[in-house]
Amino acid sequence: MAPGRPVKLLIRTCSFTVIITSVLVDILSGKATGRYAPVPKLNIINGTDVIISEDQDGFVYCYAGLDSSSRRAPYAVVWTNPYGRPVSPYHPRGNAKAAKIFAVRESFILPHAYLVFRGFDQDLAGVYTCNLLYSGRLLVRRTIHLRLFRPTFRVVPLPQCLAVPEGGTILLPSPVAGSPPKPPMWTRNDGDLDLSTSLQLNGGLLLQGVQEPGVYRAVVWLGGGLIHQQQVAVSVLQQDGGVADPSPPGPTCSQPDTQTPPDAYSSSSSSSSVAVANEVVADIQIHTYRRLVDEARRRAT
């Protein structure tokens, strides 16, 4: 070994030890930033997988876990869309009212950013990323999957009453749209359906050769053992110009179905009960969907 080499090696070793010790002291004392700072944690309070109903408004919140000594450093939290591009920031004087999704971020005190959406639909679904930057350099990221939920069917309000010319044919519209667990069941309040003149179709109940008025009831299975019922009164327009209404007395229809819009006789109470029924359908199905998503995620991990 050449003379003086051990001394040079010892000097280099001591210098390296001093540097490492200095960095450790800075980190432990909370003075280190940038290169030597411990990487802060990103937190998305909404989790990593969110199921959102169609047309729903809401937001996702992401923040960086920083100590008080790091909060004035040049950190920034930025959201990027499923294509990797930054989500447009909120501009109160711009087209914020028209934007369906935008970001609101703040670096004061605690770096954080909101991902805000309006009228959620399929175009907004996907994997979004929350990015923590330090002086424009990426430190850490977290992702969240925004999933669109649509019920397989929905209940639609039926007209309160319909009119049909004597001996004519009429279609009572279906009380559901979509794919219910089983088709609606139609009955007649004052007795069984006459199978020779009535036919249950996907589009509703077809009545042929109608001679007498009646009240028809549609039963929809919502799920979880719950049902929703609506009824339609059918009046008969007689050839002498009179109107035969169902008994007991109910709403009368003075015009043939071909001239009266189907929703012209819808009642507010019927529409209200339909809204409640659709909320029940959505609640039942979204819980089932969440369970399937959770099971799929567990299998994937």
The whole-number pLDDT of residue 75 equals: 86
Establish if 115 belongs to a structural domain: yes
In the predicted model, is pLDDT for residue 297 greater than 50? yes
For range 152-166, the mean pLDDT: 94
Q: Does residue 126 sit in the same domain as residue 169?
A: no
Nearest-angstrom CA–CA distance, 166 and 209: 8
Establish if 9 belongs to a structural domain: no
Query: Which CATH number fits the domain that encloses residue 265?
Result: 2.60.40.10
**What does 232-245 look like in DSSP terms, one character per residue?**
EEEEEE-TTS-EE-
For range 231-244, the mean pLDDT: 87
Q: Does residue 157 sit in the same domain as residue 270?
A: yes
Of 269, 266, 271, which Cα lies nearest the Cα of 251?
266
In the predicted model, is pLDDT for residue 99 greater than 90? no
Establish if 71 belongs to a structural domain: yes
For range 231-245, the mean pLDDT: 86
* Residue where one domain finishes, among candidates 91, 120, 149: 149
Q: Does residue 175 sit in the same domain as residue 107?
A: no
Q: Out of 40-44, 66-70, 102-106, 149-153, pick the least confident.
A: 66-70
| Distances in whole angstroms, Cα of residue 226 to Cα of each of 96, 113, 179, 222, 284 | 42, 42, 16, 5, 10
Query: What is the pLDDT confidence band of residue 268, given thresholds at 50, 70 and 90?
Result: low
In the predicted model, is pLDDT for residue 18 greater than 60? no
Structurally, how many domains does the chain consist of?
Answer: 2
Establish if 53 belongs to a structural domain: yes
Contact at 8 Å (CB) between 218 and 185?
Answer: yes
Q: Does residue 100 sit in the same domain as residue 158?
A: no
Q: Residue 276: helix, strand or coil by DSSP?
A: helix
Q: Does residue 160 sit in the same domain as residue 262?
A: yes
Q: Out of 7-21, 40-54, 209-223, 277-291, pick the least confident.
A: 7-21
Query: What is the pLDDT confidence band of residue 72, given thresholds at 50, 70 and 90?
Result: low
Residue with the two structure tokens 């209940």: 155
Q: Does residue 42 sit in the same domain as residue 140?
A: yes
Full domain range(s) for residue 70 = 35-149
Q: Does residue 136 sit in the same domain as residue 39?
A: yes
Of 172, 169, 122, which Cα lies nearest the Cα of 147?
122
Q: Out of 7-21, 39-53, 56-70, 140-154, pick the least confident.
A: 7-21
Q: Does residue 90 sit in the same domain as residue 49?
A: yes
